[in-house]
Chains A and B, each alone.
Chain A
Amino acid sequence: MATRPAGEAYHPQFVRQQGEGLAMALGLFSLALGAAQVAAPGVMSRLVGASPTPRRRTTMRSVGLRELANGFAILTQPRQASWLWSRLAGDAVDLALLARVTTDRRNSKGRAIAASAAVLGVAALDYMAANQLTVGESARRDIPVSDRLASTERRVARSVTIHKDRADVEAAWAARSPRPPYLDDGATVHFNEAPGDRGTEVQVRYRYRPKAGMLGASALMVARDDPSQRIRDDLRRFKQELEIGEVLVSDASLTRGAHPARPHARAM
C-alpha cells in the first residue's frame, strides 16, 4: 500500500492558507473600522474630509453597519471567498462616496484623497485574499469528492522521525495503552522508512471542524488546545518512550501553567 511520504506539502491548501491569514486580518480590520464608523460617525466623517452633516452621519453609520456585517461574516462563515468579494464591492461603493466628497468645495480635498488611497490599498488586499481563497477552492474541484473538505474544515498532519526500525515502531504504536484519543476521532496514522538510515517516519493525519469558523480556530491555537498541537505533543512523547524509555520532565514542565524553573517541594 503506497503511503504518502510524511511532510508532502498539502499544496492546494498552501495557497488557501495564505488567503486565510489575510482574510482574518481583513475581517478584524472590518470589525474595527465598522465599530468606529457606527460609534463616532462625526469624527470619521471629518477624518475623510467631509463636514459631518446629519445626512453624512447616517451614511457613515450605514457604511459602518455594512463593515461590521462583512467583518463578522468573513470571520465566522464558510465560503469566505464570497464575503471577500463582497468586501471588495463595498470598497468600490466607498470610493464612489469619497469621490462625491472631493467634488464638494466645502470639504477637505486632501483628506478625502488620502482616504481614497487608503481604501484602494485595502481593496488590493481584499482582491488578493479573495483570489487566493478562490484558487484554493478551485484546486479543490480536482480532488475527489470523498477528499474534498467543507470550507471551515481543517486538515492537519503532524510527523515525527524515530530512530528505530519500522517494525518496532509499528508494534509499539499498536501496543499503546491508552490509545491516543484522536485515533477515535477519525485520525489515521501512517508509517514510512526515513531515508538514509534515519529510522521511521510516523505521520498522523486528522481533520476537524472548529466551532465558530476561523475565530474559533485561532482561539484554540492560542489556548494550546489546537488539535495539531496535541497531536504533535503526543508524537514527541511516543518518540521519547521508544528512544529513551520514558518522557523527560523539567522542573517547569511538571505542572500546567506558569511555574518557575526550580525544584518543587517534597509534597510532589
Chain B
Amino acid sequence: MKATCWMGTKHVEVTEVPDPQILNDRDCIVKISSTAICGSDLHLYNGFVPLMEKGDVLGHEFMGEVVDVGRAVRSVQVGNRVVVPFPIACGHCAACLTEQYSLCENSNPNAHIAAKMMGHSPAGIFGYSHLTGGFAGGQAEYARVPFADVGPLKVPDALTDEQVLFLSDILPTGYMGAEMCGIKPGDTVAVWGCGPVGLFAIASAYLLGAERVIAIDRIRYRLDMARIRTGAITLNYDEVDSVPDALTELTGGRGPDHCIDAVGMEGHGHGAMYAYDRFKQMSKMQFDRPIALREAIMSCANGGTVSVIGVYAGFIDGFPMGSVMNRSLRIVAGQCHVHRYMQPLLEHIEAGRIDPTMVITHRLPLEKAALGYDLFLNRRDHCEKVVLHA
C-alpha cells in the first residue's frame, strides 16, 4: 500500500509499504477513505520530536471502512464506516475506566522510554514517534487499529467524510481546551493560535457560554478566518507592542478570564525572549519554545485558568511560576481524551451547531502528501487544513 513516510527533517515521501495485518486479537484493519495533516505532525516534520526513525508512517487523523477484524472484536463488523480517535485506549485500565483515554496504561509498548522522559507513560498514539509506541499512522491506504471495540466510532452515512473526519483529533481537542477552562456565562476567553485547533477551541468556547472570545495570531488570513467563521474578536500580535497589555485593555484592565494555548512548542514571537528560545532550541538545550504559554500566563486575569492543548515535547525555560502562584492561576493541560467527546460532538454536528468543514482549505490525493506538508507548514495559498483523500 502507499503510505506517507517520515524520511528526515522536512522530508516526507509517499512510498510503497506492506499492508497492515491483524497482530492482536482485538485489532481491526481500516481501509482509509480520508485522512488529514495535523499541526502536531509539523513538529515531527520539523524534527522537534525525539525518537523518530526513517521510514515511520505518519498520520493520526483518519477514517474509513472496516475490512478485517480480529478474533476478539465484538462491536465493529466488516463494512462499518468508522472514525478512529488518535490515542489508542484499551478500555480496561484504571485510566480508561475513568475516561482519561489519552492516559491508557496498556497501549504504549515503549512505555519504559516515555516514563524515563516524562515520569510515567501516556497512551500510545498512531504515527507519532517511538516515544508513543511506534505505531504506523493513518496517512496511508490502510491502518491497523488496536482495540477496535474501544476506539473507532461508527458514523452515519448521511454525513460526509469531511463533516466527521475531525472527530478523530482536532475538534475534540479544541473542545476539551475550552471545556478545561470551566467557562461561566459572561466570561472572556483568549485563544492563542488560529490554526484549526484554535478555531475549534474558539467555536467551542462560544458553545460553552463565553461572551467574548479573542483570537490571537499574526497571519492575516487566519485572523480573517477566525473572525468570519467563529465571530471572534481578533488580535494581531505583530501590530501591538505587548499582547498582555493589549488584552488588558480589551478587558477593562482585568485580563481575559481564561487563556487557551493552541500553539505549543513551536511558538513564534519577537524580541529577546524569542531569540533566547530559538538559540536554546538550536543548541539542543531546550526542546520547546513556550512563547504563547508565557504570554497566556502573564495575560490571564487573577484567579483564571490557562488551558494548554498545544503540544509540548520536553522541557521549557523561563516559566513565569511567580505569576502563576501569586495570582491563583490554574493550569490545565492534556492530550485530548478523544473517545469521551466523539459521540456528543457528533450530535452537535448532526444538529448543525458546529460545522467542522469550515477549516478545510485544501484537498489533495494521498500521493501529494509532501505538497500538503509544505503548504501547511509555510501557510502557502491561505492554507488552513489539508485533507488527503484515498
Point out residues on A near B: beta carbons under 8 Å: 161, 163, 198-199, 229, 232-233, 236, 239-240, 243-246, 248-254, 258-266, 268
Among A199, A233, A244, A268, the residue within 8 A (CB) of B106 is A244
Q: Are B130 and A261 touching (Cβ within 8 A)?
A: yes
Contact of A258 with B53 in the complex, beta carbons under 8 Å: yes
In angstroms, Cα B110 to Cα A258, docked, is: 12
B136 within 8 A of A: yes
- Could you tell me the distance between the alpha carbons of A265 and B17 in the complex, rounded to whole angstroms? 8
Known: A262-B5, A262-B55, A263-B136. A253 touches B21 (CB 8 A): no
Q: When chains A and B are docked, how far (Å) is the Cα of A240 from the Cα of B90?
A: 9
Contact A245 B133 (CB under 8 A): no
CB distance from A193 to the nearest CB of B (A): 14
**B86: Cβ under 8 A from any A Cβ:** no
Contact B109 A243 (CB under 8 A): no
Query: Can you give 13 contacting A-B residue pairs, CB < 8 Å?
Result: A161-B94, A163-B92, A163-B93, A198-B94, A240-B106, A243-B93, A244-B91, A250-B110, A254-B23, A262-B17, A262-B56, A263-B57, A266-B18
Give, as a whole number of angstroms, the nearest-CB distance from B122 to chain A.
14
What's the Cα separation between A259 and B130 when bound, in Å? 10
Q: Do A250 and B21 touch (CB < 8 A)?
A: no
Report the separation of the CA atoms of residues A236 and B124 in the bound assembly, to the nearest whole angstrom.
14
**When the two chains form the complex, which single residue of B56, B90, B111, B144 contacts A260, counting CB atoms closer than 8 Å?**
B56
Contact B107 A246 (CB under 8 A): no
CB-defined contacts of B105 to chain A, threshold 8 Å: 239, 243
CA of A38 to CA of B54, assembled, Å: 44
Q: Are B135 and A251 in contact (CB under 8 A)?
A: yes
Q: Note all chain A residues with C-beta closer than 8 A to B147.
A: 244
A163 to B110 alpha-carbon distance, docked (Å): 21
Q: When chains A and B are docked, how far (Å) is the Cα of A244 from the Cα of B57?
A: 26
How far does the alpha carbon of A268 sit from the alpha carbon of B3 in the complex, in Å? 20
A88 CA / B133 CA spacing, docked (Å)? 47
| Among A246, A258, A262, contact of B18 (Cβ-Cβ < 8 Å) | A262
Q: Using a CB-CB cutoff of 8 Å, which residues 97-120 of chain B contact chain A?
A: 97, 105-107, 109-112
